[in-house]
A and B are shown apart, each in its own frame.
Chain A
Amino acid sequence: MKAIRNFAASKINKTDMKTLYSIFFTLLFSFSFAQNDSPHLFELNTADRLQQLESSKIKIGGYGQIDYNQPLVENTKSAGTLDVHRVILFFGYSFNPKWELITEIELEHVKEVFVEQAYFSYKHNKYINFKGGLLLIPMGYINEYHEPPAFFGVERPLLDSKVVPTTWREVGFGIFGRIPELSLKYQLYLVNGFMGYDGSAKFDGDDAYRGGRQKGAKSIINYPNISTKIELYGIKRIKLGLSGYFGKSQSSLISGLTTSNEAALLQADSSVISIRMFGFDASYRYKAVQIRTQAIYAFNKNTEAYNQFGASNLGEEIFGFYLEASYNVFATRKMSSRLIPFVRYENFDTQFVVDAGTFKNPESHRQVWISGINFYPTNGLVLKADYQWIKTDLIGAPAKKAFNIGIGYMF
Chain B
Amino acid sequence: MKLLTLFLILSFPLTDYDSAEYHSKWMKKIIKQSTKHFNQKTYLYPLETDRITANFMNSSFYFIKDKEDTVLGIAVISLTNGCVVGGCSTANANETRYEQFYILSIYNRDKELSQLSVLDYPGEYGYEISAKWWLKQFLGSSSKKHTYEQNIDAISGATVSAQSLVKEVNILNTFIKTMTY
Contact = CB atoms under 8 A, between A and B. Distances in A.
B95 to A, nearest CB: 7
Contacts of A92: 85-86, 97
A123 B77 CA distance: 23
A22 to B, nearest CB: 13
Contact of A34 (B60, B69, B120): B60
Contacts of A61: 84-87, 92, 97
Given A123-B17, A285-B154, A37 B27 contact: no
Given A28-B24, A128-B7, A233-B127, A100 B85 contact: yes
Nearest to A237: B153
A183 interface: yes
B54 to A, nearest CB: 7
A126 interface: yes
Interface stretch (A2-10, A222-230, A302-310, A396-404): A2-10
26 contacts: A5-B49, A30-B46, A30-B60, A31-B27, A32-B23, A39-B57, A42-B57, A55-B96, A104-B86, A121-B124, A123-B17, A123-B122, A124-B12, A125-B15, A125-B17, A126-B14, A149-B89, A233-B127, A233-B131, A234-B132, A235-B133, A285-B154, A290-B154, A290-B156, A331-B150, A380-B91
Contacts, number: 166
B143 to A, nearest CB: 18
Contact of A5 (B8, B46, B133): B46
Interface in B11-63: 11-12, 14-18, 20, 23-24, 26-27, 41, 43-46, 48-49, 54, 57-60
Nearest to A53: B96
A123 B41 CA distance: 35
Contact of A1 (B45, B49, B77): B49
A121 B43 CA distance: 39
A287 B148 CA distance: 8
Nearest to A382: B90
B67 interface: yes
Contacts of A359: none
A379 B57 contact: no
Interface string B151-181: 0011111010000000000000000000000
Contacts of B67: 14
B153 to A, nearest CB: 5
Nearest to B130: A180
B90 A149 contact: yes
B121 interface: yes
A114 interface: no
A334 to B, nearest CB: 7
A52 B95 CA distance: 11
How big is chain A's contact interface, by range? 35 or more
Contact of A2 (B23, B49, B90, B121): B49
A325 interface: no
A5 B86 contact: no
Residue among A32, A56, A176 with the most chain B CB within 10 A? Answer: A56
A124 B7 CA distance: 13
Nearest to A5: B46
Nearest to A238: B133
A8 B46 contact: yes
B89 A287 contact: no
A125 B89 contact: no
Interface string A136-153: 000000000101011000
A299 to B, nearest CB: 25
A9 B91 contact: no
Contacts of A121: 124
A151 B127 CA distance: 19
A63 B58 CA distance: 30
Contacts of B94: 411
A85 interface: no
Interface centre among A2, A9, A39, A178 (most CB of B within 10 A): A9
A59 B149 contact: no
A253 interface: no
B86 A59 contact: yes
Contact of B128 (A58, A128, A239): A239
B70 interface: no
Given A128-B8, A287-B154, A379-B159, A331 B149 contact: yes
